Structure 1
Amino acid sequence: MNHQTDLATRFHALHHDGLLLLANASDAGSARLIESLGASAIATTSAGVAWSHGYPDGDVLPVRRLVATVADIARAIRVPLTVDAEGGYSDDPVAVAETVAGLIDVGAVGINLEDGGADPELLCAKIEHIKRASARLGVALYLNARTDVYLRGLAPPERRVEETLARAARYRAAGADGLFVPGLTDEASVRTIAAEAGMPLNLLARSALPGADELQRWGVRRLSAGSDIAQSMYARMAALAAGFLRDGDCKPLSAEAMAYSQVNALFQDR
């Protein structure tokens, strides 16, 4: 068993043993830091990756930059890596599969792929092409199908559970391994979808959600921080930079900083 095959096997297993917590990273540095804190896997945030390159989130990051970022992260960490691939950066399922094959080539063993506001049949086609591509590459890619039924309000509130489960069935039949439902927070709906989706359920961190132990009792198998860590980082950076630019006060810059030697040591022997 080669290293990537082992990582893929480990990543699949993480969805069937407790609750997988993913503190999404934006680049190789943040990924290595999160790994050093005990993370069992690393996930990217599409927003954080896009912002780190000076692009807005929303399928506009050039694919070559995404692939290069994933290669950098894979070099810096030793745990499984899953990539938020948004909608695949194309409406052409063949092109999407080629993009994902490029991510697998540089070390990814999982992806998120979203339906957004598009017809679910398009995501089914993308999933099918990706699964064929990953099989050719000999990597059991974990494909987490994201549906935006709750996030975008794609169905009336009383029909969202039904619509989510209908899409889950289609995505599972196409080859998806997991179901990601950002915006879903109420207990009854979570329990129903977790029990009936036929795939491990992934939620997006929201203040309305309870802690990990309770979510696990609800049937949730994966919880993602999403872009919140990156947004908090930008808020902290803005506060420090604004204060320094305002009055040149140096004290706040180092008040809560990690030691230079501690940060530098993260990247030794990588």
Structure 2
Amino acid sequence: MTDQKARAETLRGLHTGKMLVLPNVWDAASAEVVAEAGFPAVATASAAVSAMLGYPDGEGAPWQEMFAAAGRVARAVSVPVTVDAEAGYGLAPREFVDRLLETGAVGCNLEDTDHATGGLVDAGEHAQRLADIRSAASDAGVPIVVNARVDTFLGDRGIPEADRLAEAVRRGRLYREAGADCVYPIGVRRRDDLAALVTELGCPVNGNVGEELDLAALRELGVARVSYGPRFYRAALEGFKTAIKNL
């Protein structure tokens, strides 16, 4: 626990100052590649991990298998590991924290999608869940780093396009007040929207690389953290397919 506490504090510190870039991984081998390249932390991508395990994304894989995969990632590297834990798999806050810490990870993504309905969970209820997870982590003695994903910009979540920015700000503020360390408005494609989120939230924000948002643009906007999701997993698979076709 002492080592995990130190790694959690290290990961939290990486959200200030220089932008934290996280090329997301899916297994021990890909984690080793990222760590050996000099990245100071490793993050998993649920879509990539679930695909590697043979399940669809969106909590289609059993949480036991997802956490087992995360454990193999954490054992393979010495840098802090943060896990894409989707919506938390319906685990009670203390059980969620205990199972996460058992993997050796010290951080997590938690999204506000309701996978039973395909919409978004109530923002207040999700904020309370984040607060309960923060409290459980404190009780466990490891201040895990919580990256609160806000899914309003995903087009299939039922939020009209005109309302997505305002709703993302509202939710992000609630999640930050509940104890989230970073807010992750996934799916933002427009530079102006992301700039507004960074300004309005006033806390570390996780961005994604896109057509208008390369690493230089994200750095200029003041984004604290950048993740890639399953992009590198899919690229690796395409490379494998090409190699096989050329045999």
* TM-score in same-fold range (> 0.5): yes
Contact 2:191 2:212 in 1 (8 A): no
- What amino acid sits opposite 1:138 in the alignment? G
Deviation at 1:97, TM superposition (A): 4.2
2:182 paired residue among 171, 178, 181: 178
- What amino acid sits opposite 1:236 in the alignment? G
Q: Deviations over 1:107-160 (max 9, x none)?
A: 111100001222223322321221122111111111111011112364333322
Q: Is 1:124 matched up with 2:121?
A: no
For the residue of structure 2 that corresponds to 1:229, the secondary structure is helix
- What amino acid sits opposite 2:35 in the alignment? E
TM-score by length of structure 2 reads 0.91
> Could you list the runs of 5+ residues in structure 2 that have no partner in the other structure?
114-118
- What amino acid sits opposite 2:28 in the alignment? A
Instruction: Provide the aligned length of Structure 1 versus Structure 2.
Output: 240
Work out the CA distance in 2 between the residues paired with 1:228 and 1:190: 20
> Could you list the runs of 5+ residues in structure 1 that have no partner in the other structure?
245-270
- What amino acid sits opposite 2:226 in the alignment? L
Work out the CA distance in 1 between the residues paired with 2:59 and 2:33: 26
Work out the CA distance in 1 between the residues paired with 2:238 and 2:132: 39
The aligned runs of 1:95-106 (5 Å cut-off) are: 97-106=94-103
In structure 2, the residue matched to 1:21 is 21
The aligned runs of 1:65-214 (5 Å cut-off) are: 65-90=65-90, 94=92, 97-116=94-113, 117=119, 118-152=121-155, 154-210=158-214, 212-214=215-217
Identity rate of aligned residues, in percent?
A: 34
Q: Deviations over 1:46-72 (max 9, x none)?
A: 011111111111102112112211221
In structure 2, the residue matched to 1:264 is none
Contact 1:59 1:86 in 2 (8 A): yes
Work out the CA distance in 2 between the residues paired with 1:242 and 1:127: 47
In structure 2, the residue matched to 1:215 is 218
Deviates more, 1:75-84 or 1:148-157: 148-157
In structure 1, the residue matched to 2:11 is 11
When the two chains are superposed, the root-mean-square deviation of aligned CA atoms in Å is 1.7
Work out the CA distance in 2 between the residues paired with 1:208 and 1:235: 24
Deviates more, 1:47-56 or 1:234-243: 234-243
Contact 1:50 1:56 in 2 (8 A): yes
Cα distance, 1:163–1:105 mapped onto 2, change above 3 Å: same
Cα distance, 1:5–1:131 mapped onto 2, change above 3 Å: same
Q: Deviations over 1:209-236 (max 9, x none)?
A: 13x2331221211110111001111111
In structure 1, the residue matched to 2:116 is none
The aligned runs of 1:232-251 (5 Å cut-off) are: 232-244=235-247
Q: Deviations over 1:72-108 (max 9, x none)?
A: 1111101110000001112x6x2x5413321112211
Moved over 4 A (4+): none
Work out the CA distance in 1 between the residues paired with 2:49 and 2:195: 32
For the residue of structure 1 that corresponds to 2:109, the secondary structure is strand
For the residue of structure 1 that corresponds to 2:246, the secondary structure is helix
Work out the CA distance in 1 between the residues paired with 2:169 and 2:22: 24
TM-score by length of structure 1 reads 0.83
Cα distance, 1:172–1:55 mapped onto 2, change above 3 Å: same
For the residue of structure 2 that corresponds to 1:89, the secondary structure is coil
